[in-house]
């Protein structure tokens, strides 16, 4: 069946929304995967350096210098929420702050149980035991780029490391009936909040 000019015109807006969804998904996945890869590389390199230093300490007895060298960066990763126990209360506070900073319309979320991170091997995590908790987000947006601004504000608070697994956008209703200063779009996203339990110290420490 041939498409008429009216049919093509009607398809214009849905195709534009679909293109925006695809673009946002690609940007979100690339951004979050790069952040996770950087953090895990940093921790793996530091742990390798620590083990090498521990071998030297065993031979030289210079334990004090090792502690002074590696404690501050390790504590920084703990402070940023990557190493250690989950900081779910901090995540909730960060969500609310990011929502307020980007002047959105509230946020609903659900957090699942902790489980092994599905893409740890893809990141070259090596011996690191990476864990994830999946979070479902639902929030209203005025414009498409509000979603990217929200994730930037969430990441800037350094309360944990997260990856954006997927996002979908849907129009709330016909534009001609939409009140001013109300969300035009509804976003549903899945985040993976990632933590790395601290490894036991090498024998002899």
Domain ranges of the chain: 12-195
Amino acid 76: pLDDT: 72
Amino acid 28: pLDDT: 60
Amino acid 191: pLDDT: 93
Q: Are strands 107-116 and 185-195 parallel, antiparallel or unpaired?
A: unpaired
Amino acid 86: pLDDT: 87
Contact 59, 86 (CB under 8 A): no
Contact 65, 56 (CB under 8 A): no
Q: Which CATH superfamily is domain 12-195 in?
A: Ribosomal protein S6/Translation elongation factor EF1B (3.30.70.60)
Amino acid 123: pLDDT: 73
Amino acid 179: pLDDT: 53
The CB-side HSE value for 94 (13 A sphere, CA atoms) comes to 21
Buried b (16+ CB within 10 A) or exposed e, 31-60: bbeebbbebbeebbebbeebeebbeebeee
Please name the residues in contact with 87: beta carbons below 8 A apart, sequence gap of 6 or more.
81, 159, 160
DSSP H helices, 104-179, are: 146-156
Tokens of 175: 């534009």
In tens, the pLDDT along 76-115 reads: 777 777 778 888 999 999 999 999 999 998 899 999 999 9
Contact 158, 36 (CB under 8 A): no
Amino acid 135: pLDDT: 95
* Burial tier of 150 (Cβ tally within 10 Å: 0-12, 13-18, 19+): buried
Q: Which residues of the chain have pLDDT under 70?
A: 1-33, 35-36, 54, 56-70, 74, 125-126, 173-181, 199-205
Contact 165, 136 (CB under 8 A): no
The CB-side HSE value for 23 (13 A sphere, CA atoms) comes to 10
What is the chain's percent helix, strand, coil content, to nearest 5? Answer: 50, 20, 25
């Amino acid at each position: 069946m041939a498409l008429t000019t009216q049919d093509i015109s009607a398809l214009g807006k849905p195709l534009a929304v679909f293109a925006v969804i695809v673009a946002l998904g690609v940007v979100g996945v690339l951004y979050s995967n790069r952040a996770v890869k950087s953090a895990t590389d940093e921790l793996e390199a530091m742990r390798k350096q620590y083990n090498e230093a521990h071998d030297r300490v065993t031979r030289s007895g210079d334990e004090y210098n090792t502690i002074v060298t590696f404690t501050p960066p390790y504590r920084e990763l703990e402070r940023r929420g990557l190493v250690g126990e989950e900081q779910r209360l901090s995540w909730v506070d960060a969500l609310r702050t990011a929502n307020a900073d980007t002047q959105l319309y509230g946020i609903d979320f659900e957090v699942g149980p902790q489980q092994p991170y599905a893409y740890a091997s893809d990141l070259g995590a090596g011996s690191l035991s990476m864990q994830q908790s999946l979070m479902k987000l639902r929030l209203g947006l005025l414009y498409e780029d509000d979603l990217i601004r929200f994730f930037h504000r969430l990441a800037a608070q350094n309360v944990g490391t997260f990856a954006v697994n997927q996002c979908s956008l849907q129009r709330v209703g016909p534009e001609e009936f939409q009140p001013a200063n109300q969300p035009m779009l509804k976003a549903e996203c899945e985040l993976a909040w990632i933590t790395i339990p601290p490894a036991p110290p090498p024998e002899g420490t």
